[in-house]
Structure 1
Amino acid sequence: MHFTIHHQSSNSPSSSSTSSSTPHPNPITAAADQDPVHSWWESVSKARSRILTLSSIISSSSPSPSTSFSLSSLADSDRPALSLLSSPDAYSLLSSLLSCPSSGSGSDPLCQWLYDTYISSDSNLRLIVLSFLPLLSAIYLSRVHSNETSSIPSLSGFEAVILAIYSSEAKSRAGKPLLVQIPDLSQPSLYHSPRIPIMEHKSRPSVRVLSAPLEPHIAVKSTKRASILGTAFDAYHKHISQLPSWSKLEFCKFATAWAGQDCHCQNKLDFDGENDLDEFLDKLSIEQNGEVFKGVRIPLPWEFLQPVLRILGHCLLGPLNSQEVKDGAAVAVRRLYARASHDLVPQAILGTRSLIHLDKRERATAKANANSASLANASSNSNTPTKAKKPEILLVSK
């Protein structure tokens, strides 16, 4: 897979300062660019073209499909990109192709399609690529950390997609770090009053660096792999509210696998020392050509784990998430807490403990609300007046 980056030379005629070389905008073209109908139709046409290209790739990859589902039917909708994004059949079909043993190479047409689709700068098309990032990253990491390194095929196709997401995120940050302002608890705020009264003075805000400025990369080196994937997960987190639930659920499944094997210490922060999510563990798997793909245990440096915890925090506490996504995030957070406790990583222990406590509070509140609602229904039924029956009148003939 070949990639070229085009740079505009400063000595080109278009950059000259003379008035003769300055292009004059066409009024018709400018009006068309500002027309919302024109921009909508251009976006729809682009999405339809990408879907038809994907359909031809799938047809050539699997001449005899096992299902009757056709991707080309999604191109006829009014919003083809969102139709593809929200289609479970399309997601299952593309996931099976990504999970093939020969996927991820530089000549993989599906990776080429994902790369070209993401650099198209269409926001709806980019969401499609981001929805496959958990599965793509999990397969990529499982092959990188596999013991049989000699039999691993080329992964340049996967790396090209990851680098496209990384480069877009680096461009949006414009070489600046991500900063976070830590509130000063000694100063009153809308949410609290300090326990100890203090003199009226304004303290300087405490600012910390959440992420350092990003460097440009043209390849995924082993020393930079964690930070590149972490930045790609930051881009995933930016748009997570627009992504389908099965993409979030897969992320939770793979985060559980990345943490490693089950350990009893994952439940020691729960109320009774037991976790009511054990039955959900059996579902934490993804079928791969008839087999079960669960991912592998991987190293978890902080630049990789930090965005993972942000995504799990949304999956755990997002009000619009399904209960299945919340349960998957709860299991993943407890597994990561056990892993951090064994690895003795203070910031990871603090982050996972905080998410576990928030999850416990949310579940306790939901349980209390359910109990109060059931009691209210029972009391309303008992207080409902019943209509008195009329006395039976027996007619006796003399």
Structure 2
Amino acid sequence: MHSWWESISRARSRIHLLSSLLPSPPHLDPLSSLADTDRPARSLLLSSPAYSSLSAALSSPSSGHADDPLCRWLYETYLSSDPDLRLVVLSALPLLASAYLRRIHHPAAESPPSLAGFEAVLLALYSSVAKSRNGKAVTVSIPDLSQPSLYHAPRNPSPSSNPSGTSIGILSPPLEPQMAVKSTKRACIVGVALDCYYKQISQMPRWSKLDFCNFAAVWAGVDCPCTSDFDGKPVDFIDKNDRRCSGNGFGDDDEIRVESDEIDRVVERVRDLEIENGEEEDLRIPLPWELLQPVLRILAHCLLGPLNADEVKDAASVAVRRLYARASHDLVPQAILATRSLIQLDKGMREAANAAAAAANGSDSNANTPSKAKKPEILLASK
């Protein structure tokens, strides 16, 4: 009972402090009202207005410096022992990581010279993982398929020097303690922080997942025709061409035929014009494997999780396709394989859902269609 009341009191004090740092949302109850609920930390986690206020504060050009009070709040809150308060910090991680990586790789003239506030929060997450691993790597056992097992018998068994029939694969190497974010360790530190987010992703609110998917699409770079390699012709061109044809009445396939190469050139030119006009800015960032791996894990959950909202799945689908295009241009084999697999799974699930919906609509229409009444049978008896 005493520990429960301490947890409630700690959460209320953190919420009151956060309310003093963030402006109150207009036409809504102040953030301090969340402290009066039965579970204040959980209420803060599931509050969309509070998340919007955090988003506005973290995206401000003046945020992220060493004396930023919001970064200090995030740092101290994550170091607390309350699991719900730590989830609040993790839910804001996509916002923090996006602002940090954008200013590192695309600095603006008015940006502060130091982002020590952001880096302190990232180092807090990294240090907690490094401490829990105790200098050990994350490994996985890989069976040797050339040796017989309970489930299969190889056609041509070969002698193996490994008597156990398994080998060890390293998913993540041992983590070294870091006192500062060096340029050579930045991707690793951010990747470990995102892995913390992934481990608690089932607890993350919808808007946090949606923001992460949108940020991942931005990190991959501007859109290109490669994103629709698995969907036939480029989607944007088909939509624009259909609208144009429907407007002039000359949309027959026999009259208008455009070669695929010409479509690609037109789409690429349209993209270039949009970038020149400022409609879409290329804010891609370097994506080494230690950073891309947790990003793909999070996107896989957002894409395939059965309880995720449709808008989250759609945003994840766009992000995965952009990352596939980026990996295809950068020639990263493991990234190409991972993104291709996710795209194929996404297509299969959407096709199955559409087929199920069509079957349900067909059965409903058949059930609602009135059937003709059968004429009563008349038996003629001979006299």
Structure 1 equivalent of residue 4 of structure 2: 40
Does the 8 Å CA contact 1:333/1:352 hold for their aligned counterparts? yes
Does the 8 Å CA contact 2:304/2:346 hold for their aligned counterparts? yes
In 2, Cα distance between equivalents of 1:184 and 1:276: 46
Q: Aligned ranges for residues 1-398 of structure 1 at < 5 Å?
A: 37-58=1-22, 62=23, 66-148=26-108, 151-184=111-144, 196=155, 204-270=165-231, 272-275=232-235, 296-382=283-369
Offset of residue 151 of structure 1: 4.5
One-letter identity of the residue aligned with 2:16: L
Does the 8 Å CA contact 2:62/2:111 hold for their aligned counterparts? no
Structure 2 equivalent of residue 29 of structure 1: none
Does the 8 Å CA contact 2:147/2:154 hold for their aligned counterparts? no
One-letter identity of the residue aligned with 1:370: A
In 2, Cα distance between equivalents of 1:326 and 1:188: 40
The Cα offsets for residues 132-168 of structure 1, whole Å up to 9 and x where unpaired, read as 1011010011111125468534211011111111111
In 2, Cα distance between equivalents of 1:267 and 1:340: 14
In 1, Cα distance between equivalents of 2:25 and 2:280: 21
Offset of residue 275 of structure 1: 4.4
Offset of residue 384 of structure 1: 7.3
One-letter identity of the residue aligned with 1:175: G
Cα 1:177–1:259 change in 2 (3 A) is same
One-letter identity of the residue aligned with 1:316: L
Offset of residue 198 of structure 1: 6.4
Offset of residue 186 of structure 1: 5.8
Does the 8 Å CA contact 2:103/2:111 hold for their aligned counterparts? no
Offset of residue 307 of structure 1: 0.7
One-letter identity of the residue aligned with 1:257: V
Offset of residue 382 of structure 1: 2.9
Structure 1 equivalent of residue 247 of structure 2: none
In 1, Cα distance between equivalents of 2:313 and 2:170: 29
Cα 1:347–1:75 change in 2 (3 A) is same
Cα 1:275–1:180 change in 2 (3 A) is farther
The Cα offsets for residues 68-95 of structure 1, whole Å up to 9 and x where unpaired, read as 4301100000000010000101111111
In 2, Cα distance between equivalents of 1:68 and 1:382: 49
Does the 8 Å CA contact 1:139/1:295 hold for their aligned counterparts? no
Query: SS of the counterpart of 1:179?
Result: strand
Query: SS of the counterpart of 1:368?
Result: helix
In 2, Cα distance between equivalents of 1:237 and 1:266: 25
In 2, Cα distance between equivalents of 1:214 and 1:78: 39
In 2, Cα distance between equivalents of 1:277 and 1:188: 52
Cα 1:124–1:241 change in 2 (3 A) is same
- Normalised to the residue count of structure 2, the TM-score between the two structures is 0.80
In 2, Cα distance between equivalents of 1:44 and 1:119: 16
Gaps of 5+ in 2: 240-278, 376-383
Cα 1:227–1:293 change in 2 (3 A) is farther
Offset of residue 181 of structure 1: 2.6
Offset of residue 185 of structure 1: 5.0
* Bigger mean CA deviation after superposition, 317-326 or 374-383: 374-383
Does the 8 Å CA contact 2:227/2:324 hold for their aligned counterparts? yes
One-letter identity of the residue aligned with 1:51: I
One-letter identity of the residue aligned with 1:124: D
Cα 1:91–1:194 change in 2 (3 A) is farther
Percent identity for Structure 1 against Structure 2:
61
Offset of residue 379 of structure 1: 2.1
Tell me how large the CA RMSD over aligned residues is: 3.0
